[in-house]
Amino acid sequence: QKEVEQDPGPLSVPEGAIVSLNCTYSNSAFQYFMWYRQYSRKGPELLMYTYSSGNKEDGRFTAQVDKSSKYISLFIRDSQPSDSATYLCAMSAQISGGYQKVTFGTGTKLQVIP
Amino acid sequence: DAGVTQSPTHLIKTRGQHVTLRCSPISGHKSVSWYQQVLGQGPQFIFQYYEKEERGRGNFPDRFSARQFPNYSSELNVNALLLGDSALYLCASADYPSTDTQYFGPGTRLTVL
C-alpha cells in the first residue's frame, strides 16, 4: 500500500466550476500537508501549506485536512482555464536524524474548459 | 528575489555515462533537497542536505550521490546511467529549521538514450 494515494484523473471541468481534489494517507506520522501545482514541464509551485486539521483558505483555494480520517482535500472555487495543471498533494514526517521527509502523491491532472 | 535555479535545463546522455546536475537555493536557505520525477508520477525523494551535511536519503542506488557547498548550492551526481534514470530532476530549498516549506526549481530534464 502506498503511503499517499491520489486519484490521477484526468479531471475535466467547465470554467467556473468548483473543483475538489483529494488524497488519502496511511502514515500517522505525517505532520505537515501541502498542495503543489505543476504546469507541464515545470517545477511544482507551492499553493497551500497546513499542519493542523481544519480548513485554510487563500483566495479561490481552500485546503482541508482531516487527520482522524487521514484525508486531505483542495477545493478550487470559480475555476479558470489558467488553473489547468497537475495538482500534487504532499505530506511530511520527521525522520530520525531530524529531517523532514516529504512524500508526494502521483498528482491529479486538471483541465478547465472555457 | 531569485527563486531556486537549476542547470542545465535539458541534458541528453547515453547509457553508462555520468551526469552532474546543479542547484542554487533561494538566498538565505540552507537546506536543499533533490527529487526525481518520472513522467506521470509524483516527485520521489533522493537526498536532503542541510549545512553541507546529508540529512536524509531516499531509496535510490549508490550510483546517486550529492553534495552541498559552503555557499549552500548543491550538485547531484549520477554514475553509470540507465535508461530508467530518464526523468525530471527537481531541486527544492527550504529555510530550515525555521520552516520545512520547500520551494522547487524548474528542474533538469535528463534523457538517457
pLDDT tens track, chain A, 114 positions: 789 999 878 899 999 999 999 999 999 989 889 999 999 888 999 999 988 788 999 999 999 999 999 999 999 999 999 999 999 999 988 776 667 788 999 999 999 999
> Which residues on neighbouring strands pair with residue A109, listed in sequence order?
A86
> B21: which residues sit within 8 A by CB, 6+ positions away?
B6, B7, B8, B11, B75, B76, B77, B78, B89, B91, B108, B110
B15 CA to chain A: closest CA distance, Å?
23
Instruction: Name the closest residue on chain B to residue A92, using Cα atoms.
Output: B100
| B101: nearest CB among A41, A46, A106 | A46
- The predicted pLDDT at position B75 comes to 98
What is the SS3 assignment for A30?
coil
CB contact under 8 A, B90 and A44: yes
Q: Do B44 and A49 touch (CB under 8 A)?
A: no
- What nine digits make up the cell of A78? 470559480
Predicted local confidence at residue A97, as pLDDT: 63
CA B95 to chain centre: 17
Domain topology for B5-107: Immunoglobulin-like (2.60.40)
Q: Are the C-beta atoms of B55 and B48 separated by less than 8 Å?
A: yes
Taking an 8 Å cut-off on Cβ atoms, the answer to whether A46 and B4 are in contact is no
CATH 2.60.40.10 fits A4-113, yes or no: yes
B21 CA to chain A: closest CA distance, Å? 15
Tell me B25's DSSP state.
P
Q: Which residues of B touch A85 (CB under 8 A)?
A: none
Domain ranges of chain A: 4-113
pLDDT at A98: 66
> Is the model's pLDDT at B18 over the cut of 70?
yes
A34·B101 Cβ contact <8 A? yes
Smallest CA-to-CA distance from B46 within B31, B35, B55 is with B35
Q: Give A44 to chain B, closest Cα distance, Å.
A: 6
Whether pLDDT at B1 is above 90: no
From CA B15, how far away is CA A19, in angstroms rounded?
Answer: 43
User: Which residue type sits at B26?
Assistant: I
User: Residue range B1-24: average pLDDT?
Assistant: 94
What is the 8-class DSSP label of residue A31? -
DSSP B65-92: EEEE-TTS-EEEEE-S--GGG-EEEEEE
Can you give the pLDDT at residue B56? 87
Give the tens place of pLDDT for each residue, B58-98: 999 999 999 999 999 999 999 999 999 999 999 999 988 77
